[in-house]
Amino acid sequence: MKANILVCGKIGAGKTSLIKAVTQLDTVPDSAIIVNRLKTDGFDIYETDIANFIDADGMESGQTINDYIEFIKEKMINRLNNASVENLIHNVWFCIDSSDEQIQSSDVNFLKVLDDKVLVVLTKYEKMQKNQFDNLVKDLEELISQERIIVVSNVKKTGLEKLLDKALHLIEQCMNGSKEEIQSFTNCWDNYYSKMINRWKEKTNAEADECIKWGACRAATIAIVPLPLADLGPLIVNEAYMIHKLAGIYGYAADKSIIAMLGGVAGGSFAGKLLASFLPGLKSAIAAGVTYGVGKAAKAYFESDMSLDINMLKEKFKLGEKESKTTDWEKIRLLIKNYSKAAVELINFE
């Protein structure tokens, strides 16, 4: 048994890149993947051991989005409920570039014609601007449940594990076969992806740690600005931004309540600790430490598939905050000040 996955969306949305990312087309020998160009239908099919990825790159210049929808409908939509095993489309990945500010009516139309087999994949996450992204997600959530929205970066290889996890779940649900056959398919799938997933996990982990250091560095810089003590706004905003980025690294489009819950694990630490400190250098370290701790808690939360409870999260926060004491934030802050901001990303903090 093989899964058929239709990958569609506007030109430039990242369809082909996504297929390449989940088939390792650019890293494995050609023999591992067969690409069948079905010229008559205008689709590229990427065939692997466990799935056929149908790249719906059929939109041609001059073709309107409505024409494209018609084209997909005509060729593919009837396969969503097809009786024949080879023809059935088990899953649709509808790609949207996450730097698109708003969902367009063409996207709405498109989502409407697809049934409940669709997953919305927000691509190019590492390039997104938070406000644009929030608007996009807000619009999308009116059309599709949050669990069906996955955030990926084809370049950084983040979110792919989450996407495949959700896809497998949906595929299993609509596979025509005995329990044994489906189990055997699942085993093949796990087998095929185990190595890739391990590599992605390492990348995701490194990316998340980088993001936490980035957040903590920014907090160290923010804390030095002589603000009225009551005004913790910029630190909170920075923290929220970091949590938001972390969520995306793990494939989630975080909403406000999750961000607020995770920010809450510090239990008012910013206010209390900063108030007690008059030394600028110490302030940097405190702000960075709290942000770092919150980052570590958030990371653990997303790693656990959002299952850790608040007490566990508070533990993670404390551990993180303690760990941050081994970093000389004041030195880093001075480096940021004296050199360029970008240089910070290159510093090895350990």
Residue 16 touching Mg ion (CB under 5 A): yes
Report phi then psi at 38, rounded to 5.
-95, 85
> 5: left (phi > 0), else alpha (psi -120 to 50), else beta?
beta
Among residues 2, 3, 6, 16, the one that binds ligand GDP under rule CB under 6 A: 16
The structure tokens listed for 329 are 């934030």
Task: Copy the structure tokens of residue 35.
Answer: 């690409």
One residue of 48, 52, 91, 153 binding ligand GDP per CB under 6 A: 153
Supply the DSSP string of 284-325, one letter for each residue: HHHHHHHHHHHHHHHHHHHHTTS---HHHHHHHHHHHHHHHT
Residues 6+ apart with CB under 8 A from 248: 125, 128, 133, 151, 158, 159, 254
The site for Mg ion, by CB under 5 A, has a size of 3
Is residue 15 a contact residue for ligand GDP (CB under 6 A)? yes
From the DSSP assignment, how many helices (H) and strands (E) are in the chain?
A: 13, 7
The amino acid at residue 219 is A
Contact 170, 90 (CB under 8 A): yes
* Residues near ligand GDP (CB under 6 A), total: 16
Q: List C-alpha distances in Å: 307 to 171, 298, 313.
A: 24, 11, 10
| Shortest Å distance, C-beta 33 to ligand GDP | 16
Does residue 57 interact with Mg ion by CB under 5 A? yes
The yes or no reply on residue 155 touching ligand GDP (CB under 6 A) is yes
Q: Which is nearer to Mg ion, 45 or 88 (CB)?
A: 45
- Which part of the chain contacts Mg ion (CB under 5 A), choosing from 7-15, 18-26, 155-163, 267-275? 7-15
By CB under 6 A, which span of 147-155, 245-253, 263-271, 283-291 interacts with ligand GDP?
Answer: 147-155
- The position carrying tokens 């093949």 is 188
Q: Does 17 bind ligand GDP (CB under 6 A)?
A: yes
Residue 12 as a binder of ligand GDP (CB under 6 A): the answer is yes
CB-nearer residue toward ligand GDP: 128 or 217? 128
By CB under 6 A, which span of 7-15, 36-44, 259-267, 287-295 interacts with ligand GDP? 7-15
State residue 100 phi and psi, 5-degree precision.
Answer: -65, 130
Site membership for ligand GDP, residue 127 (CB under 6 A): yes
Residue 98 CB, nearest approach to ligand GDP (Å):
8
43-62 residues in contact with ligand GDP (CB under 6 A) are 57
Which residues lie near ligand GDP (CB under 6 A)?
9, 11-17, 57, 123-124, 126-127, 153-155
Which residues lie near Mg ion (CB under 5 A)?
15-16, 57
